[in-house]
Each structure stands twice: as structure tokens, then as C-alpha cells.
Chain A
Amino acid sequence: MDDRKKNKEAEKVTITPSDESTSEKGHLFGLDETIESIKDAISDFESGKILNIAIIAPSYAGKSVLVDEIVNIYSHEVTKVSFSSIITDKEEIPLSEDQSKIMIFDNCHYLYMRKIGGFEVLHAFLNMVLEQDARLCISTWNIHSWNYLGRVLDIRKYFPVQIKIPPLNSSQMKEFLLSEYEDGEILFVNDVEAEDKQIFHVVKKPLAEKATHGRIKLYTLKVNYVALRSLLMNKGTPDETAESIIIKEITRISRGNPGVAKKLWKKWLEYPIIKTSNIDKFSPSINIDVDSRFILYLILSMGYIKKCELNNIMNWKCSVDDIRINMILFELLNQELIQINDEYYSIRADKLHLVTKYLEDCRLVW
């Protein structure tokens, strides 16, 4: 997000002296092995072997932080080109005028559109990558765009080294979340011991609400999956601390994604207290039509996208279509699946995995 804002005006950002770099080593959590893999590929390049690298990650996973770190390490040899919105003209790609040994192309998923004629820019870029015989190209991609392009264009062949940013485990997540606080500054409280250890709850649900006006109620059993899971997984550790429960839950819900975890942390934290009762166990079901589903997929696979870009991909040009896209975006905003920030629509961090799972089930995410 920071990169997007930073590069909003200029699509190409060149970083030269290392003292101008912005990221700090202390902010890199769980990326040590990834950085080592990239360093190995760069060493191979220095010994004459060109193996272009693709860094693949979902939104909020820390892709930009990783790229900044590489720029820091190799500041005198690197040119970073960051794309912040969809590139529609291949002339907009800064190609060979720069003489840096290593080129980093950030957010390469902005080089294609899922429409007829939407691959021209990407083809030109891939051709440029192949023509580089004395340069190493490092590219970063949204994982969903990468998977799509993998099936459609076999894009893996252009980038023999593919590095997926790994999810954080519980201990890395703890270190990451508490890094900005002093020791003991945050108080973890377990206030759900009594009621939430029940695995089954009897719930009353109105039967055919419209017809019966809620007069007839159906009794159903609701399973408390959190309690059931803790019963099955934490057997033998009944005295688990509130801190451990909260960190584990955040890691599980965010699937180790630091950006999502941070969002959940901020949502649940009532500074300086964080309670287990704040853990949001409810995951709503998504019920949207085919067009909305496809728009949701486009937002997910691009990370951040403008309304005019969505219109362009959908090939919706007339005023009726404008009403249509407004209605769809309104519905998605209303269901709190997406957010709008500075004209750019993106999936809400706390709904990222819910949306991904839904689109996987619809087979839009492969």
C-alpha cells in the first residue's frame, strides 16, 4: 500500500544510494530464508548464470518490504520499477535505458488485463525479460494473478526461480505483533473460560420467517468450533495462557499473513488490553451474483484497482454499465468484503481469506 501511494505519480522509482533506503532490517519477520534464496540466485547471476526470479505473494504478505530489503542490500546494482496501476501501453514500461545489473519490477500483475487484447503489454515485458543477457530480472506478482498466468501463458518458464513468501508461524507472529511494544506493555486477558468451553449450543432459529413472521422456531445445535478445536488440539495443555490463545488464533485466522494479522490485532486490541472474547469467530457467508463474483476476483488478483480499470476489463462503457459497476461495488462495500482508499478498491485484510476461499469454491481462483 505504501509503495502504491509512493509511486502514484511516477511509475518508475530508481533507488541508488543505500542511505536513502527506507526499510529497516528489524521489520523483516520470517523472511530470512527468502532473502537467502534471492541472494543465492543473485550470486549465481554474478557467476554467469541468469535465473530470473519471481516473488509471489498474496496481498498484505510483505512483498514490498522484501523488495525494499533487496534494494537495500544491492543498492548500487539495482533499479526498481514499481507499477502502481494497470499499464495499458507497452511504451509505459521503462525497458533498457537503465544500465543497472539487477532490475526489480514490483507488482507485475499490473501488466495484464483479463480481457481480449489484455496481454499485449505483458508479452512485450516477457519478451524484454528474455532479451536481457547481462541483467537479472526480479519480478513480484500477486499470487492469484501468477496462478492464472501460469495456466494461461505458462509464465513460470520466464522466471525459473520462483519464491513464495512463507506464512509466519506462531512464534514469528508473536515477535512481529509485539515488536512495536515494550515488554509487558500489552495485557492479554482470557475472559471466555466459562461459557466458551461448551462445544454445542442450542440455538433457536425462526422457520420460514417471512411466512410465519418468526412465530415458529426451530431448535438447532450450533457447534463451537473454537472450543472443539482447542479440545482436540490442546489436549494436555489446559492451562494455555491468554497470550498463546490469542496469538494462535491470529496466526490461524490470518494464515500467517502479517498484514492480515496486523489488521486483526488492531481490530481486537483495546489498548493496552487484548481479550480472548474479542476474537471474532463469526465468518459470514458470501452470497453474490456472477458479475459481482468476477469483480471480486479482479480486485483480489490485482490487489488494488480503480473503478475505471474494472470498467475497462469488463468492457463496460455505456452509462447503464456505469450504474451496474456502481451497484456491484456498493454491494461489495456494503457486505464489508472490499474497501476503497484513494480511488483504489482492495479486499479488506480481515476478509482476505474468506474471499479467497469463496472464490476457490466458485473456481474463479485456481
Chain B
Amino acid sequence: MVDLETETGNIITAFEHIDANAVLISVGIIITAVLLSKIIAFVLTKISEMSWKYRLHIKTIIPLSKVLIYSLAIYYIISTVFALAMNQLLLLSGLIGAGIGFGLRNLFEDIAGGVVIVMEKTFQVGDIIQMGKYYGEVKEIGFRSTRIVTPNDDLVSAPNNLVFTECVATGNAGSSEMMASFDVYIDNNADADMALKILEEAVVTSRYVFISPTRPVVILLNDHPFYKSLKARAYVNDLRDEFLYRSDVIRRTWNEFHKVGIKAPKAQILSYDENN
């Protein structure tokens, strides 16, 4: 108890002796850390964009480097500039946590969420994710928020604490390729075998498709009271081309359907997903 009081007294003394010089050095270190993390993020992003194959692997390093740089900067300021010993450091952390934990609870939740995302690799920069109600490519994992670019090119900042409260779905989990599935609906009287063959050929001949033993193409037929639905499941070779892939396959499929007389259903389509 006496030790705790002594240490608290020492910390207070240490803070009382903070001079303008120490504050300036601290600000300098913080600015350097921010600049360094920005430069590293910029360089790694440039390198990753040049290498299609290793784009996502390289981008994984960006949030890790940020955590490392900011942690080192904070540690350096506290231990060297303010010259606090390790036990004083721990005590200070406790005091700060208790003092401002209630006031800035959300901010600390976001920071904790950011650390969890980076350490657990819930998702990575470059992944396509569904987080809360937002869907898109992860552009940046910050301490407070994750920036997502939606298919409409909106930049959304989703707070990191959503990882604790919402389910996060990732379409590719660190891979460059991603499963993209879509449905095509045809009239009940249409030749389903022919339609399946055309759709399969449209998928496997697409310039955006990626096929491997672990990334197969699957074409499924489903029957409904007034129409038939065909589902194509395949991997797009670059997740950024998900929508181009769908458009390419659907366009060529319907061109071919028209040639062989396969028609769209006359009945109103019910959502396939709703029925399954």
C-alpha cells in the first residue's frame, strides 16, 4: 500500500517535472510515427498494387506496421521522455484506463476492436467484407475505424467495435480470388439442359473466372412453380472484378439463350434466397 502511494507520488512528481522540451519531443515523436506509418502504408500499397498475385499478402503488413510503430512511439515517449519505470508505467496505464475509460468508452472499444481485427485477422486490407449493413473492399484498418469502399464507390468508415457486436462475413478470407454466385431465371418450358450447358460454358470461358481443383465451377438448377432458376457458383480471379464477371457471364449467357430460343419467365420472380 505504501509502495503504491510512493509510486503514485513518483508519477505525480515526474509529471510535475514535465517541461516544454519534453512536450515538444513527444509531439515530434508522434508526428514522426504518424508520418512513418503513412509512408510505410503508401509504399506497401504501391508495391501491392504492382503485384497482383501477392497484393493481399503485402497489404496484411500495413495494419501490423501501424500497431508496431504507434506502440513503439508511445512506449518511447513514456519510458524515455517522461523517464517512467516499468511499474510506474503499468500503474499509469491503470490510472488512465480507470480515469477515462468511462468517458471515452466507445473510442477504447474501437481501439480494442482494431487490435482484435489485426491480431485475429478477422479480415485484411483488400478483402471483400460484409460488416454490419456495409459491403465492400477493405481499404484501411485504422485504430478507430475500418474504411470500406462499397460497390457504388462510397467510402464508409465502420467503427471497429462492430466486430464485437455484428457478424462479419468475408468473401475471400485473404485470397485474391473470391466466390461469386448469381442466378439466371428461365421460362418453365425452356430446355433446361441446354440452358445449363450454355451457362456453364459462359462461366468457364469468362476472362474473369479462376478454376482450380479447390475452386470448382458449380451450376445448379432449381425448379419453381412458374419458372426455373439456374445458379452459377464460381471464383472470380480478382475480387475487384466481381461485378464485371457477373455482367460478362450474364450478357453472354442471354445472347446465347436468345439464339437457341430460351426465354425469360413470364411469371413474377420471387427471390431465390427467400425461398431457400
**Residues of A in contact with B (beta carbons under 8 Å apart):** 114-119, 151-152, 285, 290, 293-294, 297, 315, 360-364, 366
Task: Summarize A's interface: helix, strand, loop or mixed.
Answer: loop
The residues of B with any CB-CB pair to A shorter than 8 Å are: 50-53, 176-177, 198, 201-202, 204-205, 207, 210-213, 237-238, 241, 244, 252-253, 255-256
Residue among B176, B205, B210 making CB contact with A366, cutoff 8 Å: B210
* Other A-B pairs, 9, CB within 8 Å; known A315-B255, A361-B52: A114-B205, A116-B256, A118-B201, A151-B213, A152-B211, A290-B241, A293-B207, A363-B53, A363-B237
| A-B contacts, CB under 8 A, total | 48
With A and B bound together, what is the CA distance between A118 and B198 in angstroms? 11
B252 touches A116 (CB 8 A): yes
In the complex, the 4 A-B pairs of residues with the closest C-beta atoms, listed nearest first? A363-B237, A294-B207, A151-B211, A361-B52
Cβ contact within 8 Å between A118 and B53: no
Classify the secondary structure of B's interface with A: mixed
Known contacts A315-B252, A363-B52, A366-B212; decide if A118 and B237 are in contact (CB<8 Å).
no
Contact of A115 with B205 in the complex, beta carbons under 8 Å:
yes
Complex: A250 Cα to B98 Cα, angstroms = 68
Q: In the complex, what distance in Å separates the CA atom of A152 from the CA atom of B213? A: 10
Q: In the complex, what residue of chain A is closest to B236 when comparing beta carbons?
A: A363
What is the CA–CA distance of A119 and B202 in the complex, to the nearest angstrom?
A: 12
Question: Could you list 28 A-B pairs, sorted by A, with CB under 8 Å?
Answer: A115-B201, A116-B198, A116-B201, A116-B202, A116-B205, A116-B253, A117-B256, A118-B201, A151-B211, A151-B213, A152-B211, A290-B207, A290-B241, A290-B244, A293-B207, A297-B207, A315-B252, A315-B255, A360-B53, A361-B51, A362-B237, A362-B238, A363-B52, A363-B176, A363-B210, A364-B237, A366-B210, A366-B212
CA A85 – CA B51 in complex, angstroms? 34
Closest residue of chain A to B202 (Cβ to Cβ) is A116
Contacts of A114 in B (CB 8 A): 205
User: For residue B212, which residues in chain A have a CB less than 8 angstroms away from its CB?
Assistant: 151, 366
- A293 contact set on B, CB distance < 8 A: 207
Q: Which residue of A lies closest to B52 (CB)?
A: A361
A362 proximity list for chain B (CB < 8 A): 52, 237-238
Q: How far is A366 from B210 in the complex, measured between Cα atoms in Å?
A: 8
Partner of B201, one of A117, A290, A360: A117
